[in-house]
Amino acid sequence: MDHFADRLFEAVKEKGSPVCVGIDPVLERLPLSLQKGDAVDGITQFTQGVLHAVAEHVPCVKFQSACFERYHWRGVEAYHRLIHEAKQLGLIVIADAKRGDIGISAAHYAAGCLSDIDLGDGETLLGPDALTINSYLGGDSIEPFIEVAASQGKGLFVLVRTSNPGGDQLQALALAEGGQVVDQVAGMVAKLGESHLGEGGLSLLGSVVGATKVADAARLRAMMPQQIFLVPGFGAQGGSADDVKVCFCADGTGAIITASRSVLYPFDPADENWTQAVAAAALDLNQQIATVLG
């Protein structure tokens, strides 16, 4: 099973959950014991704790690249090594780096962000399974990413409708021909992805659609029947479980619900058994989503 979409929904089926835990380690929110020493060591240990706590409960994790790039190349090395560790735990890994550029630069980003890393001496770090990318530069900025992803059996999630209030400023603009900007982006993504389908009928080219934009989600689902929706904004950002239901396809596949803060930081910072709270929060999220999907 080499296609990203097939691998992803096989993992969803195995775990019985379409939940993705966002790995967004922020130093000031870590358990106190991990805030004291070197910052990169702290976020590394925290991430390892989270990965081991959630690996048996969820199919998928999403690494927020910014949290690691904050610490320059040491952070970037930790990021790649932790992605490898997550892969070894059997998790599907999405790199949330929101890259966007044109031509050879887009191809460089795709290779750098998705490919396995040869460390020499026969050692290889596994790259992530998918990458988030930005749509503002248009279709020819997305094609180099598709080329790399397709050649490696990997996936992409294009920012279509973001969960933040400011996303409306550009994405919700009304067009002269009818509809909104986001509809044109959705059409572009649907078109670009249609020749890259897995056996389950879903494309390697997915979409980010915020759970806080429920009014748009049903329309976008109809416009992008072959796109996997990566749905942020559930929980801390205000999206409800009912809001996310419309993001799924009729067969119950087609969407991954991602949550970061509500799963990462459910503990008292002084509590040394914080990983138990993280595991419980992941299970609680699973339960909330399962209830909605019925």
Interface residues with a copy of itself (CB under 8 A) are 24, 26, 64, 66-67, 69-77, 80, 98-106, 108-109, 111-113, 117, 134-141, 159, 162-171, 173-177, 181, 184-185, 188
Say which of 13, 15, 36, 98 is annotated catalytic: 98
Nearer Cβ to a copy of itself, position 30 or 113?
113
Burial of 201 (0-12, 13-18, 19+ CB in 10 A): middle
Cα separation values, 70 from 50, 66, 76, Å: 20, 6, 9
Residues 6+ apart with CB under 8 A from 151: none
Residues 6+ apart with CB under 8 A from 266: 277, 278, 280, 281
Query: Least CB distance from residue 183 to a copy of itself, whole Å?
Result: 10
Nearer Cβ to a copy of itself, position 131 or 277?
131
Nearer Cβ to a copy of itself, position 144 or 254?
144
Could you confirm whether 36 is annotated as catalytic? no
Longest dimension (CA), the chain: 59
Query: Least CB distance from residue 67 to a copy of itself, whole Å?
Result: 6
Q: Are 279 and 53 in contact (CB under 8 A)?
A: yes
Angle 132-101-184 from CA coordinates, rounded to 5°: 70
Query: Least CB distance from residue 94 to a copy of itself, whole Å?
Result: 14
Query: Least CB distance from residue 222 to a copy of itself, whole Å?
Result: 20
Nearer Cβ to a copy of itself, position 95 or 202?
95
Buried b (16+ CB within 10 A) or exposed e, 210-236: bbbbbebbebbbebbebbbbbbbbbbe
Please list the active-site residues.
98
